[in-house]
Amino acid sequence: MAKKRTIVLLAAAAAGSAWAGTKMLSKPQKRETKPALSFENPIVLAHRGGSKIAPESTLLAFEKAAELGVHGFEIDLRMTRDEQIIVFHDDTVDRTSGHQGSVNELTLSEIQSIDFSEHFEGRDELTKEELAKARIMTLEEMLERFPFLFINMDMKDSPSSYEGSLLPSKLWRILEDADALDRVVVTSFFDEQIDRFNLYAQNRVALGAGEKEVRKAYAAYMSQFKHLYHPKADVFQLPVQHKSVRLDSPGFIKFLHDLNIQVHYWTIDEKHEMERLLKNGANGIVSDRPDLAAKVVASYSH
């Protein structure tokens, strides 16, 4: 019994020694503040323009959201058959229109000829002029039409696809030509895509966290080795919960804040949830109800 106790104590001592050693050798490095993230108060990002106030990802949705006074948009990027980057989420047009086809098999002209209001619940209330705006935009058009708004953009095409292989470099050229480097965050669920983009950007653009980066950060937060985590992202855009894991605790948010990482939560459409997340320290609310979110955040800001 005494021998077992001795072994346990030696193991604990070794673990403590290892922790102390890594603590001395590794100091957490905060992310440098990017101009795009210089907001003093929490912000509202209209999710795909606000899919509950207008047909998602259409010019109409983004115009309506901008009129509500949102700080910016959360958008998705895909590439068409003729290698144009459009603001669109799905890999097909089926769900949001009465048409069928994959984005990468359709040209920009073909996609922009589609009426994306057909499946919108409030279509009957739209005017003729509004219906004409229920179309998909290119990224260049969005940057030109909304020059003063912050945009979080998510590269959706897989890095293993042809479109995905081209997307990071083409995106960089568009942002550079539009002089938009200081008002965007570029991210992807695929960490590899973010790394590819940053080969061109060289940390001149604010970066979001991919799935692997989020897992790495959360694992560090839950361990005794928080000091070993060195972030590669400026913003974590998170769901409140992933499977059984809660990602909205004040402790986790503070852990990221201490590294100068902002935390945005999606997709939040209930007033009480917005208020709870803001109280916990969230820097941004991504919502399909920008009309509601704008009021909540405005009342919370100081």
Q: What is the pLDDT of residues 118-175, one digit of tens each?
A: 999 999 999 999 999 999 999 999 999 999 999 999 999 999 999 999 999 999 999 9
Do residues 117 and 140 touch, judged by C-beta distance below 8 A? no
Does residue 101 lie in a domain region? no
Range of the domain at 246: 38-78+139-300
**Residue 18, pLDDT above cutoff 60:** no
Does residue 106 lie in a domain region? no
Does residue 18 lie in a domain region? no
pLDDT digit string (tens) for 182-234?
999 999 999 999 999 999 999 999 999 999 999 999 999 999 999 999 999 99
Distance (Å, rounded) from C-alpha 216 to C-alpha 195? Answer: 16
Q: Which residue has the tokens 């619940």?
A: 121
Q: How many C-beta atoms surround the C-beta of residue 110 within 10 A?
A: 16
Do residues 269 and 287 touch, judged by C-beta distance below 8 A? yes
All residues at 6 or more sequence positions from 15 whose CB lies less than 8 Å from its CB, including other chains = none
pLDDT recorded at residue 98: 86
- More confident of the two residues 24 and 103: 103
Please classify residue 32 by burial: count the beta carbons closer than 10 Å to its beta carbon, then call 0-12 exposed, 13-18 middle and 19+ buried.
Answer: exposed
pLDDT digit string (tens) for 26-79?
577 899 999 999 999 999 999 999 999 999 999 999 999 999 999 999 999 999
Question: In terms of Cα–Cα distance, which of 267, 188, 276 is closest to 232?
Answer: 188
pLDDT range class, residue 19, cuts 50, 70, 90: very low
pLDDT range class, residue 6, cuts 50, 70, 90: low
Alpha-helix runs per DSSP H in 30-134: 59-67, 108-112, 128-131
Does residue 28 lie in a domain region? no
pLDDT recorded at residue 8: 44
Q: In 169-214, where do the E strands start and end?
A: 184-187, 206-207
Q: Which residue has the tokens 């048409």?
A: 99
Number of independent structural domains in the chain? 1
Question: In terms of Cα–Cα distance, which of 80, 97, 95 is closest to 135?
Answer: 97
What are the helix and strand counts (H, E) for the chain? 11, 11
Q: What is the CATH number of the domain that holds 266?
A: 3.20.20.190
pLDDT digit string (tens) for 97-120?
989 999 999 999 999 999 999 999
Does residue 146 lie in a domain region? yes
Packed helices 290-300 and 271-280: angle between N→C axes, nearest 10 degrees:
40
Does residue 194 lie in a domain region? yes
pLDDT digit string (tens) for 230-285?
999 999 999 999 999 999 999 999 999 999 999 999 999 999 999 999 999 999 99
Does residue 267 lie in a domain region? yes
Do residues 151 and 75 touch, judged by C-beta distance below 8 A? yes
Does residue 290 lie in a domain region? yes
Q: In 101-240, where do the E strands start and end?
A: 150-155, 184-187, 206-207, 235-239
pLDDT recorded at residue 14: 45
Distance (Å, rounded) from C-alpha 290 to C-alpha 269? Answer: 8
